[in-house]
Amino acid sequence: MKLSGFFFLKSVSMALSQIWANKARSFLTALGIIVGVASVTAVIAALTGLKAKVLSEFESVGAARLYVFPNRPDNAPRTKFPWEKCRLNVNEARAIMEQCPSVKGISPIVDVPMSVESDSELIEGMSVSGIWPAWHDAVGRKVLRGRPFSAIDVDTARQVALVNQAAVDELKLDREGSGGVGEYVLLGGRRFLVVGVVETLQARMFGMNSSQAEIFVPFSVAEKVLSGWYFMQFVALARGPEVAEEAQAEIEYVMRRTRGLQPGDPDTFRVAAIDQYINQFKSMAAGVTAIAGGIVGISLLVGGIGIMNIMLVSVSERTREIGLRKAVGATSTAILLQFLLEAVTLTVLGGMVGLVIGKAMAIGLTLIPGANLEKADVPIWAIAVSLVFSAGVGVAFGMFPAIKASRLDPIEALRHE
Amino acid sequence: MEEPIIQLRSITKVYRVGVETIHALRGVDLDIGRNEMVAIMGSSGSGKSTLMNTLGCLDRPSTGEYVLGGKLVSAMKADELALVRNEEIGFVFQSFELLPRQTALENVELPLLYSATGGSASARRRRALEALQRVGLGKRVDHRPNQLSGGQKQRVAIARAILNNPRILMADEPTGNLDSATTTEILALFTALNHGGQTIIIVTHENDVAAHCRRVVRLRDGRILSDLPAEEDAEVAPYVAGARETQRAQLEAQGAAA
Ligand SMILES: Nc1ncnc2c1ncn2[C@@H]1O[C@H](COP(=O)(O)OP(=O)(O)OP(=O)(O)O)[C@@H](O)[C@H]1O
Ligand SMILES: [Mg+2]
């Protein structure tokens, strides 16, 4: 059987007039779809905005940055890889610096808890980080006042310190407009000259520390007080974002060689590029999208049942009409298609209304101050997926009523009261 | 003699309702030729509508053969029958059966919706307009059914039925819901169409309607009782068994209409 393009056009226009004639009923029926699509659109818009925000933050941080962590291999016997063998050693940082051509700079970072004292304040158990001068470049933190660490500070283990602005405030170092530079602090009972102030990180991305105060000392100084357990990591800077992967491979190679790992032995360390954090974030966002999708699936299911119900009502209300259409030559397929198209028109219209509401909600989200959602937007793919799903619901739930309509016997239908 | 358009051979129709078996048609043989205008009469329950539905390919006989325009339609599948209804048969119903939200023009266009050969949108529109003009409603194309009188509605229905230039135009009590003046109008329209070459079959209770036809087939209890030219039928009508019932039904219908 052949159906003309006219048939499809006319069927859709009839579906629209049918929907228009029963405005209130159609609206209530499509409400499930509208709410479902609107909420998923808003959730996706929010996620998209958050993602854009986070990614741009990562980018400003720099894609050339690499971290090296100790890492005890999973599933490996504890006896073969004790923690001491995994721990990073500062000599490994030196080896990386000397042997990795793609690495521009590297700095160990070791955190030592110490009591910190200024003239007026005392803070116990504050984390003091030992670093090399390359740290400034590698993590991209500039000095606001004073000067950064120099090689001499490290080589001669000078008792100098860098503090961040938060530490200046918490330790009340800003006397007489010095801004903290030139003041002294006591670290574990030794006097340190504050040579520079670095900017305080905005909110730390994944950190929850209530105190944002940080103090840095030359690595060689920190090394002297190290005993027993400590945690060291390296931060390295590749010569450019484009060689970040090479740098990562080189570091892995040098680390394995320095540690004397045999082929087949697992890595006892981990080299992480910022990319991997981005991927982690992306997969988290995908997870949230999937959950939102599940919720929408349920609301579409509920909406679909409503559609099925109203279409069954429509079929029985229009039994005589169906009989007449068959009498003037409509085949079962034609009737089936007409009712399916009507259901699909209803759900797609519902989907469109939902999209408009979702878009409005997305615009609303961008206006919430401090929500970090100023980039919230509805991506094209979400529009396409919403419409396809709406149409799918129309087909799935309109099918049974449409089959019922198509199977009606023309004479019986015409005799229907 | 020219081959008849319609040839019915031993047509029976049996309905089963629960344990009961109803023989609506018990062996009907009937030939109808081109350009005839035939009335089918008979008391209520005699099988007129059943015969009409069979002739109109809305229903298939239980047994027997039906040849329409040389094609054995009694052996056709549902989709083939739909095509035959679309192209070769026009129906007019007692209760008009117009779609309430569509204009007269859209109602007339309806059969073209289901035909693959309807032409462009403007060609369809032109054909529907022509059909409306033929039934004298050229000025009411944009009216909806609730803005039309009963006679006008039936004209729209007739325009819809003749749109595809069908071999046969079938009407099951087309004037049953109309007053006598409008009935006369509609019959005049049928007569004009018949003079224009259209084959017409009308099921009716009313002798006046039958009088407009050239041939009258009377049914009783699922069988053909008589098949006579209209003038002869008028003479024998009072003597035909069951005519009294026919008259009673007619009176009842009038009483209900009043
Ligand atoms: N779908 C059906 N199921 C069962 N019986 C039926 C069905 N259709 C018709 N009949 C029976 O078949 C017989 C003939 O019915 P039909 O409708 O053809 O009569 P009719 O001559 O058109 O009557 P009327 O003048 O009242 O319209 C009746 O006894 C009727 O009850
Ligand atoms: Mg009848």
Q: What's the pLDDT tens digit per position in B81-119?
A: 999 999 999 999 999 999 998 999 999 999 998 987 767
Residues of chain A contacting B, Cβ within 8 Å:
1-4, 6-7, 10, 17-18, 21, 320-321, 323-334, 410-411, 414
pLDDT reading at A206 higher than 50: no
Question: Whose C-alpha lies nearest to ligand 1, atom 5?
Answer: B15
Q: How confident is the model at residue B255 (pLDDT cuts 50, 70, 90)?
A: low
User: Cβ contact (<8 Å) for B111 and A328?
Assistant: yes
Contacts of A275 (CB under 8 A, 6+ apart): A63, A244
Whether A257 and A289 map to the same domain: the answer is: no
Do residues A408 and A312 share a domain?
yes
DSSP per position, A84-135: HHHS--HHHHHHHHHH-TTEEEEEEEEEEEEEEE-SS-EEEEEEEEEE-TTH
Would you give the distance in Å from CA A267 to the centre of its chain? Answer: 28
| Ligand closest to the CA atom of residue B45 | 1
CA nearest ligand 1 atom 3, residue = B15
User: Does any domain span residue A67?
Assistant: no
Q: Is residue A276 part of a domain?
A: no
Residue B242 has pLDDT above 70, yes or no: no
Say if residues A373 and A49 touch (Cβ distance below 8 Å). Answer: yes
Asked if A46 and A96 sit in the same domain, the reply is no
- Alpha-carbon distance of A270 to A202, in angstroms, equals 27
**CA A336 – ligand 2 centroid, Å:** 29
Partner-chain residue, chosen from A1, A320, A328, that has the shortest CB–CB distance to B79: A1
**Confidence band for A205, pLDDT divided at 50, 70 and 90:** very low
Question: Is A274 part of any domain?
Answer: no
Whether A316 is covered by a domain: the verdict is yes
Which one of B87, B113, B153, B156 would you mutate to disrupt binding with A, by most A Cβ within 10 Å of its Cβ?
B113
The reply to whether A194 and A92 lie within a common domain is yes
Question: Is residue A178 included in any domain, yes or no?
Answer: yes
**A177 with A203, same domain?**
yes
* Average of per-residue pLDDT across A105-125: 87
Which residues of B fall within a CB distance of 8 Å from A334?
82, 114
Q: What is the pLDDT of residue A75?
A: 73
Q: What is the pLDDT of residue B249?
A: 62
- Whole domain around residue A119: which residue ranges? 72-267
Residues A140 and A263 in one domain: yes
Q: Is the CB of B242 under 6 A from ligand 1?
A: no
Domains of chain B: residue spans and CATH: 4-257 (3.40.50.300)
On whether both A254 and A314 belong to a single domain, the answer is no
Sign of CA dihedral A283, A288, A291, A293: negative
Q: Which of A238, A267, A296 is the last residue of a domain?
A: A267
Cβ atoms of B110 and B160 closer than 8 Å: yes
CB pairs under 8 A between A and B: 74
Closest-CA distance of chain B to residue A390, Å? 27
* Residue-wise pLDDT tens digits, A308-327: 999 999 999 999 999 999 99
pLDDT tens for B141-159 read 999 999 999 999 999 999 9
Mean pLDDT of the A219-235 span: 81
Whether residue A358 sits in one domain with residue A234:
no
Out of A2, A10, A332, name the one closest to residue B113 (CB).
A10
Taking CA–CA distances from A320, the nearest residue in chain B reads B97
The verdict on A297 and A229 lying in the same domain is no
Judge whether A272 lies within some domain: no
| CB contact at 8 A, A367 and A40 | no
Q: Which of A234, A267, A300 is the last residue of a domain?
A: A267
Judge if A206 and A323 occupy the same domain. no
For B91, which of A17, A21, A327 is closest by C-beta distance? Answer: A327
B78 contact residues in A (CB cutoff 8 A)? 331-332
For chain A, the 3-state helix, strand and coil shares in percent, each to the nearest 5, are: 55, 15, 25
Ligand 1 atom showing the smallest separation from residue B52 Cα: 18
Provide, as residue numbers in chain B, all residues whose Cβ is less than 8 Å from the Cβ of A413: none
Q: Among residues A267, A290, A316, which one ends one of the domains?
A: A267
Considering the domain architecture, whether residues A190 and A233 belong to the same structural domain is answered as yes
* Residue A417, both tokens: 């009261």
- For A313, counting Cβ atoms within 10 Å of its Cβ (0-12 exposed, 13-18 middle, 19+ buried), the class is middle
Do A44 and A97 share a structural domain?
no
Within a domain: A64: no
Q: Give pLDDT tens digits for A246-269.
A: 888 999 999 999 998 888 888 889
Report yes or no on A135 lying in a domain: yes
pLDDT of residue B11: 96
Q: How many domains does chain A have?
A: 2
